[in-house]
Amino acid sequence: MPMASSKTSTAGSATYGAKDIQVLEGLDPVRKRPGMYIGSTGLAGLHHLIWEVVDNSVDEAMAGYCTAITVTLHEDGACSVKDNGRGIPVDPYPSGPHKGKSALEVVLTVLHAGGKFGGEGYKVSGGLHGVGVSVVNALSKRVLAEVDRGGTRYRQEFVEGGKPKGKLSKVGPSPKKDVTGTTITFWPDPTIFAAEGVEFVARTVTERLQTMAFLNKGLEVNFVDERKEKAQKITYQYKGGIIDFVKHLNASREALFTKVAHYEAAEADQTLDVAIQWNTGYYEGIYGYANGISTVEGGMHVEGFRTALTSVLNKYARATGALKEKDDNLLGEDIREGITAIIAVKLREPQFEGQTKAKLGNVSIRSFVQKETNARLEEWMMENPSEANRIVKKAVAAAQARIAAKNARNAVRRKTALAGAGMPDKLKDCTATDPAETELFIVEGDSAGGTAVDARDPRTQAILPIRGKILNVERARLDKMLKNNEIQTLITAIGGGIGNDEFDATKARYHKVVILADADVDGSHIRTLLLTFFYRQMRPMVESGYIYIAQPPLYSTEVGKEKIYLKDDSAKERFLAEHPNHKKEFQRLKGLGEMDWQELRETTMHESSRTLLQVTVDEAALAEDIMSVLMGDDVESRKQFIQTNARDVRNLDF
């Protein structure tokens, strides 16, 4: 849904030059404090380099100049991003300290240089205010930029964190006379990303690229992996845009009806694209995007949509008699139960809160989205009474369940109050009371729980054994959950309440909640059930970084008289490479119960020698999709997901 017409596009292409590239400050700080620019120097930061370059290509697509983007992971560790946009300008910079340098060199070597500040370079953009490609240059050991403009191929190379190896040069004619575009190839600097390495994860890249294709209707997004044993080619292109996105998100769920409600609107310098479909599940999935950027914390566009949604549904329910005069209005949470919605807006001057752009702050977009949703959604419901009635019926059932859940909550609270101290009997609490230094280990089984009690530091580490597999909360409403003893115990031990609307992470009694389960199929299932519970009912704990997974070793062996523990098969292979003549057997540790408390302490619980995996939420829509696949009813989707992604599991990243 480009905001520029084809006529405007032609004019824009003719006038887009060095004068549109404005310089705000230098590049020096990037290598000193990379986390300020890409969030971290771990795997998330490494992949952020790709997003920075791709976002520039997507900006060209949103402006109406680019129809295809290709991201390639090369065998030598490089990544290239190619588009058929206008090509970064190559004419000499007109003024100031960079006068005479090519605009391409300025864009690649100066922070805050780009076509998104003033001028007519872009009507809307999602790139990080021009810092993108220069930051990638600063954090790479080598960058090669190739541009096609005016029938000529231009090239410039940069090394050692952004130093030009030479001036911009003409290397010959473009492959085709009328072809334009940019290809940026970069080799990440391993000294910057030393902690977790510079190997890109295919799944992380493809998920982001697929989302970009959904959000830019008709845009062809190609992914090519040239690495041995990982080679693949995928093309994403969606003529239905976000309608296809909603269908994709609901594919592993049971849709309430087959139709997808969809409407678009535009005014002045802002546009709106909305797609909605309900499913038979119990969780809300509303995802906001602004200029192609995922606003995981919502913002004014999502707020305007929610307000209008509640108003329209209540108005329709009363008009059709589903709600009587004496009945209370349906609450927003009742109406949003089982919803999957994409709210995609584009605007000229987006105001994002925070460096990560998690929330959109433009007040004008709230009233625009609210006004259009009030009119367009009401119209859709009147035209589709069968679907509208199903939505209302589901919302009424959700309201009844909400009242039942409130009563169940109160029953849990009364039970806790009557228990005196209020903590579950099976919880072996720690003596420290500062949540910042306390840890709760959720341990599978009573026998392993007893071992963990002996292995812990009683001052800072609490132990909560759970028996068997907890309820799968993906398939249950809150009122049913609250009747489950194991879930009641978890709620009471952690504190902070229950339900994402009510839960308060600041009241949590522990800032580290560690899932400690066996390294077998049953242990994996228990971990997934617990993670589903935290994600669905205590999501602020996940968002705050309070949820961890313990990494008990899979093998043990002996070197001399010393017992050595190895985390997994990869660790075993590294050990054998270092000790090729090792003769002792490897014992596979099937369960936590096989370790004595000293072993459990040294390998899994002691702060100085353990390995914990922190669980994070990077992209809300992807997290929702993964949860539904892993814990929903669609067995085939679950099997396919596990088979596809088994090789890529290095981090657990919802």
Tokens matching residue 98? 């960079």
Buried b (16+ CB within 10 A) or exposed e, 139-150: bbbbbbbbbbbe
454 catalytic? Reply is no
Q: Which residues pair with 142 in a beta bridge?
A: 159, 187
Of 361, 237, 233, which is closest to residue 293 (Cα–Cα)?
Answer: 361
619 catalytic? Reply is no
Q: 527: which residues sit within 8 A by CB, 6+ positions away? A: 515, 517, 549
- Quick check: 536 and 628 in contact, CB under 8 A? no
Give the integer Cα–Cα distance in Å for 224 and 235. Answer: 9
Catalytic residue (one of 269, 437, 504, 520): 520
- Quick check: 444 and 604 in contact, CB under 8 A? no
What is the widest separation between alpha-carbon atoms in the chain?
83
Catalytic residue (one of 225, 244, 378, 444): 444
Q: 292: which residues sit within 8 A by CB, 6+ positions away? A: 55, 58, 59, 62, 126, 212, 215, 216
Catalytic residue (one of 337, 518, 599, 625): 518
Phi-psi region of 190 (alpha: psi -120 to 50; beta: other; left: phi over 0): alpha
E strands, 226-333, in order: 232-236, 261-267, 270-278, 285-290, 293-294
244 catalytic? Reply is no
Give the integer Cα–Cα distance in Å for 649 and 638. Answer: 15
569 catalytic? Reply is no
Tokens matching residue 41? 């120097």
Catalytic residue (one of 91, 479, 522, 634): 522
Cα-only R_g, the chain: 27
Q: Which residues belong to the active site?
A: 444, 518, 520, 522
